[in-house]
Structure 1
Amino acid sequence: MGETQPSVLILGIGNLLWADEGFGVRAVESLHQNWSFPPNVKVMDGGTQGIYLVQHIRDADILIVFDAVDYGLEPGTLKRVEGDEVPKFLGVKKISLHQTGFQEVLAMAEMMGDYPKHLLLVGVQPVELDDYGGSLRPQVKAQIQPAIEMALGYLIAHGINGEKRSTPLDEELTIACEHMVLSRYEAERPDDAMAYRKGDARIVAGEGWQGPEDFEAEIDEILHSQGQS
């Protein structure tokens, strides 16, 4: 009988719509486009799914995560973190809701007794997040290949080898959403004149709308009035 191969999950998480927040997803897309792996290795775009990823985490003996992480370092800096340190770094400075969700996923998997034996986080310090519909900044995009090399080296250290594709997969054959593949996402994005990138300028600059002074009180009042009707 041959030795059972470990189950490996290579996961990219993040939100493509917020510039450098999409680093993890773009990294895993590029990995899948250029490398193939044995059947015990799953390459997955986790997006912002949060707790919906828990079963995939539970099934993994080895987990590699690509993500944009606020390490408090120079923008564009790539950093690897391993083992028990991973949840700590994901939670030091949250830059998006998915990080809280992924911490919960790891905690849930641990409570269920199925925590990965080996865990690697490959994260990049973002340059820009507040750019709706924006793509990766050059400093962050330049770290995709080094991040992939970190992940491949980690796999090799655990006896798992990927194979470089002789020809990269066409974008429509990768794990990327056909509407969000990098080339289309960047080429078809409207310019500032067509789509203001930090909110609708007509609202932001206008005086016709302003947020509630006490949001919680307003919600309570709405709920109370609905209950009385």
Structure 2
Amino acid sequence: MKILLLGIGNVLYADEGVGVHFVNYITENYRFTHPEHQIDTMDGGTLAQGLTPILSRYDHLIVVDTVNAAGAEPGQVYYFNFDNAPPEIDWQGSAHEVEMLQTLIMMEMMGDRPDTWILGVVPTVLEPMHLGLTERIEAAIPVMEKALLKHMASLGVESQRIADIDINTLIPDSFKRG
């Protein structure tokens, strides 16, 4: 099985970049291994439909992004199978979320969407030209990390902590990684 951990977001819009920052954080701090599975990580930025040829090569997809949820507090973390999204998720948090939703739906119609999971956090602020995360979203990172590691373990993937790099250390150079 081919597994992709995909960070989505615009790093120039504060909390909007959490998907990209989180995937960079996981890439720097963990190594994932499985005797048969291939595990990749990727900064998808705001490409959405442009990612279709890449995403279709995977069997299992974990999308890390902001999510908009009715009645949810900023910093609240959601982890769900795309086919069973909670009713409060409305996918209207940002333009790229809608584009990513459309991309996944289009891939489903074509029969080439991988088994898709969403690891999302409700953003606090989507401020233009602010590189970094707000305190509430930064506080959600350990919850997101725990959810991801639990999911990887359910797939039989071993997670080895190889470093202890703080996410804020990675953010200033995040635009250079993608």
Residues 1:15 and 2:10 are matched in the alignment: yes
1:113-138 deviations in Å (ceiling 9; x for gaps): 22213x22111111111343242101
Aligned to 2:43: 45
Aligned to 1:113: 111
Q: Which has the larger radius of gyration?
A: 1
Aligned to 2:138: 141
Match of 2:129 among 114, 129, 132: 132
1:91-145 deviations in Å (ceiling 9; x for gaps): x14122211221122122222222213x221111111113432421011012122
1:203-224 deviations in Å (ceiling 9; x for gaps): xxxxxxxxxxxxxxxxxxxxxx
Offset, 1:86: 4.3
Offset, 1:82: 1.4
1:61-210 matches, cutoff 5 A: 61-72=59-70, 73-86=72-85, 92-117=90-115, 119-165=116-162, 167=163, 181-183=170-172
Offset, 1:43: 0.5
In structure 1, what residue type is equivalent to 2:29? N
Offset, 1:89: 6.8
Distance 1:122 1:49, change over 3 A: same
Pairwise CA RMSD: 2.6
In structure 1, what residue type is equivalent to 2:61? L
In structure 1, what residue type is equivalent to 2:68? D
**TM-score, with normalisation over the residues of structure 2?**
0.83
Corresponding pairs, count: 169
Distance 1:163 1:89, change over 3 A: farther
Distance 1:184 1:65, change over 3 A: closer
Aligned to 1:59: 57
User: Do the aligned residues in 1 keep the contact of 2:9 with 2:16 (CA within 8 Å)?
Assistant: yes
User: Which runs of no fewer than 5 residues in structure 2 stay unpaired?
Assistant: none
- Taking the aligned partners of 2:104 and 2:131, their CA distance within structure 1 comes to 29
- Taking the aligned partners of 2:146 and 2:127, their CA distance within structure 1 comes to 28
Classify the secondary structure of the residue corresponding to 1:159. Answer: coil
- Taking the aligned partners of 2:100 and 2:152, their CA distance within structure 1 comes to 22
- Taking the aligned partners of 1:8 and 1:89, their CA distance within structure 2 comes to 27
Distance 1:184 1:47, change over 3 A: closer
- Taking the aligned partners of 2:173 and 2:105, their CA distance within structure 1 comes to 36
In structure 2, what residue type is equivalent to 1:115? R
**TM-score, with normalisation over the residues of structure 1?**
0.66
1:6-63 deviations in Å (ceiling 9; x for gaps): 1101011011111110111111010001011237001111110111111222112111
